[in-house]
Chain A
Amino acid sequence: MKKLISIKNIIVSFAFIIVLWQIVFLTSDFNEALFPSPYQALQAFLEMIKDGSIFVHIGTSMYRFGAGYISAIVAAVLLGLVLGWFKGIFQYVNPLVQLLRPISPMAWMPFIVLWFGIGDTPAIVIIFIAAFFPVLLSTVSAVGGINPIYFKVSKNFGIKQPQIMWKVIFPAAFPQIANGIHLALGTAWIFLVAGEMVGAQSGLGYLIIDARNNLRADILLATIIVIGLIGLLLDTLLKWAEKKILKAWGGAL
């Protein structure tokens, strides 16, 4: 029942924006080539499906996204566990992290293109940078926030490093780490498109630039919607996974 209501909400809100879009289209006097109607965007979308190009671009983008996002998670969680455990070291690393974190990954783009050329790598590196810091910081803070009684119990039962890391620290911190991984997803997805707009010859971000260069506003809008929908889908998947994890963890944080 709850699911039905939320589906109803989604349909109503999407229908509302499409109707609004159509009204603006009818009442404004923008050139059709600059401001397509919902129908034209749909036509462009169907056209891309028909020639299969959209799937190729989505596939390329998903590969880059997966590579950058997953490698960032692995690196950030491992480093975060170590830094969370060795608080003394983190005190020296933290200023550096705080300095690097607010820099938009796109600022590194010129260097990235110079070092790695164009193709898959720049987008992967951009996504890596975008996802790395939120996951790192949430992992460090998760380890720092572990209830000290778990350590007391481990000490009592003679559980030492390295076992304590995967038997106690990682599982105890995991729900909060999962939350950080979920938050990083949105940021990483945003920067995928940005990364592909500059350093790539394929993918959804490239499609945007390509549509602009060809003055195909309909393709542009259709692509934008596809990007939004995939982002929504990924977020829903992760939200679902996070819920499952919390349940398996006995609902504890």
Chain B
Amino acid sequence: MYIEVKDAVKTFKQNSGEFTALDHVSLDIERGEFICLLGPSGCGKSTLLNAIAGFDKITEGSIKINGEEVTQPSIHNVTIFQNYGLLPWRSVLKNVELGLEAKKIPKEERREIAEKYIDLVGLSEFKNSHPNQLSGGMQQRVSIARALAVSPDIIFMDEPFGALDAITRMKLQDDILNISKQENKTIIFVTHDIEEAVFLADRIVVMTPNPGRIKSVVTVPLTHYRERTSEDFLLVRNKIFELFNMKPDDNIEYFI
């Protein structure tokens, strides 16, 4: 198994005792899978992501990537944040080069790689702009390009499109799905948007709060290119709605 989360427990100290963010969570992820962690706020989905990415330590249990215990973040597994995390004093190009600098790649090669990925996310025209001159959607594209530039094995995405408007979000969902298949990356994607999860994921990990637990793991039996309005799509979506007990019982009679 590529990523192995075993009995992960994460508790936070609060002024009135302890808060359990993750309660014995176990999860296996294969290489190349697109996994969505889905649930309402407080269900521990971001906590789980941060733990796998190495930003936070779990209280109990173990998390292994490729057989190795996760202890700290690594350049092989890049996280994309909701608020982009771009350095505002650097141009788009220099932002994308950031990770390559740490990898001690020579200057010309850096530029070449950066330009390739800026091109991939469709921002070639803006490579010399500063992040603040770009829209939210474009900034998130820059941070996707920056992540891809270091050719990571896993990309973690923590509600990456949460701050974007609905139409931009859908466009970026298309793009990230294409990129994930093209570049064959393992992606772990946190969201509270059911539709987003159904659109993107190979498997959806449905989580519930208080304490944070995995309720169910739903395999999405759809092809890579999904119609948001197709019948199959709606079927999967309904199934998730049911898991959250958000569908009214089907005993309503309809009159037309």
Complex interface: chain B residues within 8 A of A249 (CB) = 88-89, 130
15 other contacts beyond A150-B85, A156-B77, A250-B133, with CB at 8 A cut-off?
A: A149-B83, A152-B55, A153-B85, A155-B72, A156-B78, A157-B98, A157-B99, A158-B103, A163-B102, A167-B101, A171-B90, A172-B87, A172-B89, A252-B89, A252-B132
Question: Is there contact, CB below 8 Å, between A250 and B131?
Answer: yes
Complex interface: chain A residues within 8 A of B191 (CB) = none
Closest Cβ of chain B: how far from A239's Cβ, in Å? 20
With A149-B81, A155-B72, A155-B73 as contacts: A174 and B102 at CB distance below 8 Å: no
Chain B residue at smallest Cβ distance from A153: B85
Top 9 closest pairs, chain A to chain B, by CB: A250-B130, A252-B88, A157-B99, A250-B132, A250-B88, A153-B85, A158-B102, A149-B85, A158-B75
Closest Cβ of chain A: how far from B134's Cβ, in Å? 10
Type the 1/0 row for A88-124, where 1 means its CB is closer than 8 Å to any CB of B. Answer: 0000000000000000000000000000000000000
Considering the complex, which residues of chain B in the window 11-45 have a beta carbon less than 8 Å from any beta carbon of chain A? Answer: none
Considering the complex, which residues of chain B in the window 160-193 have a beta carbon less than 8 Å from any beta carbon of chain A? Answer: none
* A to B CB contacts below 8 Å, 13 in the list: A152-B81, A155-B72, A156-B53, A157-B99, A158-B102, A159-B101, A163-B101, A171-B89, A172-B89, A249-B88, A249-B130, A252-B88, A252-B132
Complex interface: chain B residues within 8 A of A198 (CB) = none
Number of interface residues of B (CB under 8 A): 26
CA distance A163 to B83 in the complex (A): 23
CA distance A167 to B55 in the complex (A): 21
Complex interface: chain A residues within 8 A of B124 (CB) = none
Chain A residue at smallest Cβ distance from B75: A158
CA distance A167 to B90 in the complex (A): 10
Interface residues of B (CB under 8 A from A): 53, 55, 72-75, 77-79, 81, 83, 85, 87-90, 98-99, 101-103, 130-133, 150
CA distance A157 to B150 in the complex (A): 9
Closest Cβ of chain B: how far from A121's Cβ, in Å? 37
Main secondary structure of the interface of A (DSSP, over half): helix
Would you call A56 an interface residue if the criterion is a C-beta within 8 Å of the partner chain's C-beta atoms? no
Would you call A52 an interface residue if the criterion is a C-beta within 8 Å of the partner chain's C-beta atoms? no
Closest Cβ of chain A: how far from B243's Cβ, in Å? 31
Would you call A162 an interface residue if the criterion is a C-beta within 8 Å of the partner chain's C-beta atoms? no
CA distance A149 to B55 in the complex (A): 11
Would you call A168 an interface residue if the criterion is a C-beta within 8 Å of the partner chain's C-beta atoms? yes
Would you call A248 an interface residue if the criterion is a C-beta within 8 Å of the partner chain's C-beta atoms? yes
CA distance A248 to B130 in the complex (A): 9
CA distance A158 to B76 in the complex (A): 10
Considering the complex, which residues of chain A in the window 207-253 have a beta carbon less than 8 Å from any beta carbon of chain B? Answer: 248-252
CA distance A189 to B77 in the complex (A): 52
CA distance A250 to B87 in the complex (A): 10
Closest Cβ of chain B: how far from A189's Cβ, in Å? 29
Closest Cβ of chain A: how far from B100's Cβ, in Å? 9
Complex interface: chain A residues within 8 A of B103 (CB) = 158
Complex interface: chain B residues within 8 A of A171 (CB) = 87, 89-90
